Structure 1
Amino acid sequence: MLTRKQFLRFGALAGAAPLAAPFVVTAKAADKITWRSSGHGPASDPSQIYHDMLCKSITKASDGRLTVKPFVGGSIVPAYQELDAVEQNVLQMAYTCPMYNLDKWPAAGLISSRPGCLAGNALRSWFDFAGGADLMNKMMGESYNAMTFPGALSPLPPEVFFHSKVELKSMDDVKGLKARCMGDGGEIFKRLGAATVIIPGGELYEAMQRGTIDAFEYSTLASNWKMHFNEVAKYVYVSPARAPSDPQVFFVNKEAWAALPDDLKELVQGLVARFTQDQHEYLEYESIKAVEEFRAAGNEVRQVPEDIVAALTAEADTFYAEKSEKESPIFKEIYDSMTSYRTAYEAAHA
């Protein structure tokens, strides 16, 4: 019998029978299929690196029956519009953050880098086994031509709270702060008086150099170290309060998915589950190392002042209570599901 890890990694999702070893599908010329897939970040972002490795692994494991060509974020469509490109079948797969689609679904921010979100593998287990993937598909709706599946979410470690040129000693320093802050966190900080803007990750280094912004959130300590953000911001503020996890999700075009033979579906699901979990574990490890790397580079790594955390948490509670009342029912359904799961998870791990 397969362990849980083997179950996720080797394609036995949703009750499917495990694939026999070796995990390679023999090519048949008539069956060959080509997909295009895009990440959402620059080439140096670990999420993009893992996306590219996955695409190559699918191509190799299928013996060329399914060739997945990887593209960097913004190279096929403008950055953060990858999911729409999947829906339109311009891309057949994409690896992106749900919160980049708040313009379509306000509930998308609940699953992405938000204050109070489930952290780490608690988020992944909710997504895989407690109905999270189904709720995301329900949110997108039957008419939207894209879908996800269990194993497709990489939770990632907490995001850096802020890289900042400005010392943040209290809430007074947040008011008027020119900051790149995405998703619901950006809306909440705006309510707290910050001047928040949306800027693609690949443009953050230059935006800090030019003074367009004074601070930004982007990703994990490990990812941000590899993007050389130590060169443009003196302060590295850490706290899980703003984004306990930094989840990214693989999406596929429904029609392209339906056209895959069952064995290739199992292969794709198994490899996606493997690479999303591997990325999470890798970044947990690398983020521990990155703390000392930032310090050695002359940065000051600090905890976020308690009054900022308290203000953010209180405003987030108000924000989500309001949204749960005024948005479509799926918003409250996802919010209540995640909240209930967090309560149960914490009770089980007390």
Structure 2
Amino acid sequence: MFQRKRIPLLLVVLIAGIALLSCQQTKTADAGDAPAKTVEKIVWKSSGHGPATDPSQLYHDMCCKAITEASGGRLEVKPFVGGSIVPAYKELDAVHEGVLQMAYTCPMYNLDKWSAAGLISSRPGALPGEALRTWFDFAGGADLMNKMMESYNVMTFPGALSPLPEEVFFHSKVKIESVDDLKGLKARCMGDGGEILKRMGAATVIIPGGDLYEAMQRGTIDAMEYSTLASNWEMHFNEVAKYVILSPSRAPSDPQVFFVNKDAFNELPADLQRIVRAEVAYWTQAQHEYLVNESIKAVEKFKEAGNEVYKLPTEVADALVAEAAAFYEEKSQNEPPIFKEIYTSMKDFGEAYASIK
């Protein structure tokens, strides 16, 4: 009697086990039919514009690394030193052509494409750093730059501009005490600043930043502008020029901008676009603040190294600003309409900014 009751119970347990195993196998098969979708890794190449020791290059590299990490590796941005992928100052062409997907460079290096590029640069009479970034982010500056570049497969966005502190007026072997001292001066000076100083009698030339130390050492030039006190200390310019001349008249700021390939950016998912924008905005502002602090400390370093650090005489600064105003008024009448549009926008914003100071 006991045995007859036990056998059906065992059969029930066995049948239930087989059914459960069959169900699990069916679920496994179903899952196998629809494997989890893998996310394809996106790889970008990005270049700075300066030598490896330049703070702008260092912050460019940190930004690339931060984007890669913030995306969980879905967007890997590989950083390259200026001149390692394409010749120096040709980074924007490489972004346009898709050789690079991103670059961090100075707008004025693209005067061969757009005369207005010199306006959003380290130019005489421009906006000081804080005002320049505000104009770029909130008063239409980024939109105007994109309008200027609309025929190129390149774009930028608010937050992409690092204003940087004012540039050193000159590192010079010659002391400049009057306007006459500019006449015949062999100087490296980029962008519109070089053209304006040329109108004032200087013999200006274009030389890549990485070649400046040697050019001064060899006597190819007698004076040079490059960047901030902090950047220039790291470039060891104290060793090749006795005088460090300070003035915001030639370059009230030294803006650098992140540019991206339009197609590459538009193909990114929305969350990766947000990551790129957020990290770029953080690192451009961080670089500016870092260089403000380091430039304060660099003044004493130059003095301790035996350099004579002094402020450009007001006479020279005022003459430069006046020459710049005449230069830009003339160009506004002769260049494509975008030039006047950008120049007027910056001028109006500058006057409004000055009214609250």
Using the alignment, how far apart are the partners of 1:82 and 1:217 within structure 2? Answer: 21
Using the alignment, how far apart are the partners of 1:29 and 1:149 within structure 2? Answer: 30
1:217 to 198, 205, 225: 225
Alignment of 1:231-270 (within 5 A): 231-270=239-278
Deviations 1:136-186 (A, max 9, x none): 000112x31000000000000000000001111211211000000000000
Using the alignment, how far apart are the partners of 2:77 and 2:321 within structure 1? Answer: 42
Aligned to 1:92: 101
Aligned to 2:234: 226
SS in 1 for 2:39: helix
Deviations 1:103-131 (A, max 9, x none): 11000000000011111111001000000
2:49 to 24, 40, 57: 40
Identity %: 75
The amino acid of 2:274's aligned partner reads: E
Larger RCO (CA within 8 A; separation ≥ 6) = 1
Using the alignment, how far apart are the partners of 1:185 and 1:318 within structure 2? Answer: 13
Aligned to 1:102: 111
The amino acid of 1:96's aligned partner reads: T
Deviations 1:16-48 (A, max 9, x none): xxxxxxxxxxxx853210000000000010000
Is 1:61 equivalent to 2:70 in the alignment?
A: yes
Aligned-residue Cα RMSD (Å) equals 0.8
Is 1:126 equivalent to 2:173 in the alignment?
A: no
Contact 1:29/1:65 (8 A) holds in 2: no
Contact 1:189/1:312 (8 A) holds in 2: yes
Is 1:166 equivalent to 2:159 in the alignment?
A: no
Using the alignment, how far apart are the partners of 2:323 and 2:154 within structure 1? Answer: 33
Aligned to 2:20: none
Shift of the alpha carbon at 1:307?
A: 2.0
The number of aligned residues is 321
Unmatched 5+ residue regions in structure 1? 1-27
Aligned to 1:278: 286
The amino acid of 2:193's aligned partner reads: G
Using the alignment, how far apart are the partners of 2:339 and 2:70 within structure 1? Answer: 38
Deviates more, 1:286-295 or 1:298-307: 298-307
Shift of the alpha carbon at 1:265?
A: 0.2
Aligned to 2:12: none
Aligned to 1:145: 153
Unmatched 5+ residue regions in structure 2? 1-36
The amino acid of 1:322's aligned partner reads: E
Using the alignment, how far apart are the partners of 2:38 and 2:133 within structure 1? Answer: 37
Shift of the alpha carbon at 1:340?
A: 0.5
Aligned to 1:15: none
SS in 2 for 1:91: coil
1:49 to 45, 55, 58: 58
Structure 1 segments, 4+ long, off by >2 Å, are 28-31
Structure 1 length normalisation: TM-score?
Answer: 0.91
Structure 1 or 2, whichever has the larger Rg, is 2
Deviates more, 1:62-71 or 1:165-174: 165-174
Aligned to 1:5: none
The amino acid of 1:97's aligned partner reads: C
Using the alignment, how far apart are the partners of 1:171 and 1:320 within structure 2? Answer: 20
The amino acid of 1:261's aligned partner reads: P
